[in-house]
């Protein structure tokens, strides 16, 4: 299984903070593609979001990052600060 976490506005937008999915995806991008099939909100938040922030096992990641069973994948909206 892969543990998936949704933070900040994604948590409210997608209606959940976390979930587990079978480890059948080789990359974060493949996982995102499957999640996006759930509907427009998922597609907008994850697939079409060019500023999507991703972490795999607490390390900054990209859509090309490999994932495997036991990994934690976290999605964050763009962060601004000042």
Sign of the Cα pseudo-torsion (10, 11, 12, 15, in order): positive
Tokens of 44: 């907008």
> What is the tens place of the pLDDT at every residue in 31-78?
999 999 999 999 999 999 989 999 999 999 999 999 999 999 999 998
Q: Distance (Å, rounded) from C-alpha 15 to C-alpha 25?
A: 23
Domains defined along the chain, listed by start = 2-76 (3.10.20.30)
Taking the complete model, does pTM exceed 0.75, yes or no? Answer: yes
Extended beta strands in the chain, E state: 2-6, 18-21, 53-56, 59-61, 72-76
Give the model's pLDDT for residue 31: 97
């Amino acid at each position: 299984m892969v543990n998936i976490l949704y933070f900040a506005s994604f948590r409210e937008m997608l209606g959940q903070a976390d979930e587990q999915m079978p480890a059948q995806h080789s990359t974060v991008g493949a996982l995102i593609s499957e999640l996006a099939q759930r509907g427009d909100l998922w597609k907008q938040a994850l697939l079409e979001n060019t500023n999507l922030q991703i972490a795999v096992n607490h390390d900054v990641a990209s859509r090309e990052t490999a994932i495997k069973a036991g990994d934690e994948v976290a999605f964050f909206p763009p962060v601004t600060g000042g």
